[in-house]
Structure 1
């Protein structure tokens, strides 16, 4: 399993950037997302930025990762607080699956 880590661009030079998460800086490959301005959030997998994300999305991912860490440590955590964006929300099917479901009902 590969987890995406949200990191913020500190400096950018060509197809690489110095990015930071929790005070730790990493050299990140930007080949898939292109050069990014300082302050931009990117979702990083195995040393490469795969997606440009908003600060709100970065916070959601960070909270989800905190929840996973808490569960792995066996700590009782209010997971609803860490997954607030999912509480009281019905899952939505992607459009291509909705179409498939509707055609199978007909």
Structure 2
């Protein structure tokens, strides 16, 4: 299994880009998404950008990854990291509704 990491472009370099996540930089292959401007958010798997995402989506993914890290350390106070889900009723996908 591979987990996507939200990274922000800090320097476009044509077929690659220098990106940052949690203070660490890395060179990301941009072949699947094309060149992106400085400040763009990407969902990165194994040093390859697979999707251009919004800043809000990047924050949600970052929060979920942080919740996972905390849970692995035994922390249970992680609801604040799922603010978009707390107090929301689950919805069935359209094809399962009848």
> TM-score, structure 1 length as denominator?
0.83
- The Cα RMSD (Å) is 1.5
In structure 2, the residue matched to 1:31 is 31
Deviation at 1:88, TM superposition (A): 2.3
Long gaps (5+) in structure 2: none
Relative to structure 1, the CA distance from residue 31 to residue 80 in structure 2 (aligned partners, 3 Å threshold; closer, same or farther) is same
Structure 1 or 2, whichever has the larger Rg, is 1
Q: Which runs of 4+ in 1 moved over 4 A?
A: none
Q: Residues of 2 paired with 1:48 and 1:92: CA distance?
A: 32
In structure 1, the residue matched to 2:88 is 89
Which structure has more helix as a fraction of its residues?
1
| Partner secondary structure for residue 83 of structure 2 | coil
Deviation at 1:86, TM superposition (A): 1.2
In structure 2, the residue matched to 1:21 is 21
Deviation at 1:94, TM superposition (A): 4.4
Q: How many residues align?
A: 98
Q: Residues of 1 paired with 2:6 and 2:92: CA distance?
A: 25
Long gaps (5+) in structure 1: none
| Partner secondary structure for residue 37 of structure 2 | coil
Deviation string, structure 1 residues 10-50 (Cα, Å, up to 9, x no partner):
11111100000111100001111110000001010111011
Q: Residues of 2 paired with 1:71 and 1:41: CA distance?
A: 26
> TM-score, structure 2 length as denominator?
0.90
| Partner secondary structure for residue 12 of structure 1 | strand
* 1:57 is aligned to 2:95: no
Deviation at 1:90, TM superposition (A): 3.1
